[in-house]
Structure formats: structure tokens, C-alpha cells
A and B are shown apart, each in its own frame.
Chain A
Amino acid sequence: MTKNYFATGIISKSSNFGEANSIFHLITREHGLVRAVAKSVRKPRSKLKGHLEILNQVTAYLRKGKNLDLITQVESINSFNLIKKNLKLIAKACYITELTESVLSENQPNTKLFDLLVSSLKLIETHKKELLLIHCFEFQLLTLSGFKLVFLECVNCEKEISKNSHVFSPSQGGILCSDCKKLENTKLINLNIMTLKILRNMSRENFSSLIELSPPKNILQELSRVFDESIRELLGVNLNSQKFYQTIMKH
């Protein structure tokens, strides 16, 4: 990487640094996670301030620094203004952005994951009533991070699943056949047949058809449990925005 470089990214976090500076976390397409300083950005006349807002998609021009890089110029590509006018959409967008950040590392780009984040933010902005979008995102994020959840056969022995066995193991990352279920001593989740159908459609990547669905509340709760437990077990992350997301969704 040269001394000066540019990156297209989503701003995921910011924290104050020094008198009027801020440190920003950018989820970038070209360089993975980038942490950089923007100088004097908290002053009212800062030229960078308006562009460096959380959840903005920007093109940032940066200079390599000793510890942190320096943001020299920035241009907004998409500010996702409709998201920022609705508390529920903010909660959803913050959750998927923080989840993406949690699986990324510095200087390790994951272009597919970045494109997934941007397209999901665009969908959140346009499909306000969409209920399964977040779970579709979680499924794809786990897949792109190397933890594809298995719903079409037994995750352990790859045997076909019998009609009566609908048990999901978060630690194994898939459903278990009746034989493997007996050997498993970690926490298991019993799935409704409708939940399993939705999850199998995710495995077949029928995301566009899932977006139109409006499953009942109990199915949504079951899906939330499957993904919450899987993310905790497989990625080992505890997200700050998750609690806020759950509070806002209940409200």
C-alpha cells in the first residue's frame, strides 16, 4: 500500500480523540476494516464533518500514519437518509453494520461481504416492512465468514433428515439427524416445520422470494433464536447494537 490511498467504505463507528478530532472505523471494500483519524472534524466549519456520519457510504482519501491513518478528503456516495429518519431502520442498519465489522480485520478485504452490507442497507432503506431481511443477511454473513449453516442434510453425518427430526445445533451450525441428536450434548433448538422451510430456502439462496414472506410471530422468534445462538457460538461475538435492536423491535 502506498503512502496515500483511497477506499470506498461504510462508516461504522466514531469516537472523540483529542480537542476536536475523531477516530472513525470504516468498513472498506478495498482494505477491510480501516481505523483513521479526521482532524478538527468536531468544529462546526469542518469540511469533512457532514460526510463522516455513521452509516454513510463514502469515498475516503487517506494517508498512512504511524499508528492510525489520516483522513484527508472524503466524499459521500450514499447517506441512507431514509434509514436515519426511522428509529427501527437505524436499529437494523446499526446491527448489520456492527456484525460486519466484528468479522472483518484490518488489511483483509472481503469484497463480497462489503457488497452484501451495501445491498442490505439499500434494501433496509426501501423495504420498511421486510421481516426476514436481517436473517437473510445473517445467513449470508456466516457463509462468507466460513460458517455456512447446514439445513438440507445432517450437519454431522450428511445423512438425509427424516420428516420427524427438526433439531438445530448452534454449536455445530446445522440440523441433526435422529442418530446424531442422541450423541449431541450441547444446547439444541427444536424447529417448527415452517421455520425449517424458510431456512432451507435460505440454503438454496432464494432470498428474493423470502423477502416477500410475512411469517407469524412464533416463527420469527424461532428464527431469531437460531441466528442469535449461532452467531454467539460460531463467531464468539457480543454486539452492542443487538440489545438496542431488540429493545426497539419490542417497542
Chain B
Amino acid sequence: MESINNKIIPKPIRNLILAFSSLPGVGPKTAQRLTYFVTQKSSEEIETLSQALTSVKQNIVFCEICFYIMENTDTKNSRLCLICEGDRNKNEICIVENPLDVIVIENSGIYDGLYHVLHGAISPMNGLGPNNLKIESLMKRITNDIHEIIFATNPTMEGEATAMYIQELLSELKTKPTITMLARGLPTGADLEYSDFSTLSHAFENRSSFN
């Protein structure tokens, strides 16, 4: 960051480098490259970029039910996303960590139920606990109409800890829905030789009939 504090660099440039550096995965060098790229662009192009950035914050809200991202239009009174409003199987809820996970599952076209976006996973080392996630609102959604809860959290320690925590809460309910989890095991195209013990044990535990 030494170069950013350098007085030779004009203040607007320094500010933009610092702003880019705050983005995930962007280090000081990349931030500098992006800044100089911006300076070379025409005013119209920069205006389009800045408008796109501002409108993301102004025009994107979270669905009141599933917390997936949706466009904020003044004409609509309810804040429900297209998935919650649509003609879907309303007896199933798929729990995911982030809105991007919904997009991936939707693109695959293999699931037609509802979602619940937690906006993160329990991560003790990073100070993310159950209170930081949309777990309370999930519990309020679970009525007798919900027949199945599908955990589609990431197959990491954080993802599994989140699933375990919610599963404990669900076990306290009077009418318990069926709880399932996406299969864990070897990915398509992987080499068995390089697989670790944890993946291999999951693959053996979840092996399916091949008749």
C-alpha cells in the first residue's frame, strides 16, 4: 500500500485505488490497474459504470420470504421474488448459503421448489454465528405445508455446521418435515487417487444401488 500513500499520485486516483482494494479478491496491484483503466475510458462509459453501481444498491432488495435478491419496483406492493410468487412446489424448501447458489441450481433446471437464502454460513473463526444468518426467519416459514427441507449448504465444515445447527432447531418442532442433504462424494471427472479420506468416506456412506 506504500504507493497509494505516495503524494505523487493525485488524490482522486488514490481514493479510487483504495475503493477498488476493498472489493473481495482485489489486491493493491489489481486496484491500481483497474483505476488506470478507468482513467482511460470516456466520460459516457464511466457514467454507465457508476450508474450501474448505484442502481445495484438502490434497486436491489431482498425477498421478504426467502431473502433471494430481487428488483425493487415501485409498482409492486409486495416484496416477493419471482420464485416465491411463481407456480412452484411450495412443499419443499432448499436452504442455500448465498443468492449465487440459487442461480446455479435454477440454471440446472432440476429443482422446482422454494428456497431460503441464509446469507452466509456459521463460521466460528470469522465471528459468524447463527444470529448473523437468516435462520430465525426460516424457522417462521416452516409450517405443516412444508414436507421437505433440503440442505444445499457447501460441503465444508462451515456449511455442515450450519446444517447441523438448523437440524437441531428442526428436531424441536412438533411436526417435523423430512430433512435431506445434497449427496457428498466424488465429483464427476475426479481421480480416485487424489481423493481425501473425508470425501471418500462420504462417497462410500452415500453409495447408491447400481442394478
Task: Please give the residue numbers on chain A whose beta carbons come within 8 Å of chain B beta carbons, in ascending order.
Answer: 12-13, 15-19, 21, 44-45, 47, 50-51, 53-56, 76, 79, 81, 84-87, 90-91, 94-95, 97-98, 240-241, 243-245, 247, 251
Contacts and interface: CB of A to CB of B under 8 A. Distances in A.
Q: Is the interface of B mostly helix, strand, loop or mixed?
A: helix
B160 A84 contact: yes
Nearest to A77: B197
Contacts of A87: 161, 164-165, 168
Interface string B126-159: 1101110000000000000000000000001110
Given A50-B196, A90-B157, 19 more contacts: A16-B24, A19-B25, A44-B187, A50-B199, A55-B157, A56-B198, A79-B196, A79-B197, A81-B201, A84-B198, A85-B160, A87-B161, A87-B165, A95-B124, A241-B124, A244-B122, A244-B127, A247-B129, A247-B130
Given A94-B124, A98-B124, A244-B122, A76 B197 contact: yes
B129 A243 contact: yes
A241 B158 CA distance: 12
B197 to A, nearest CB: 5
Contact of A18 (B25, B127, B161): B25
B8 interface: no
B191 interface: yes
Contacts of B127: 240-241, 243-244
B126 A240 contact: yes
21 contacts: A13-B126, A50-B196, A53-B198, A54-B125, A54-B157, A56-B198, A76-B198, A79-B196, A81-B198, A81-B201, A84-B157, A85-B160, A87-B165, A87-B168, A90-B124, A90-B164, A91-B124, A240-B126, A244-B122, A244-B124, A247-B129
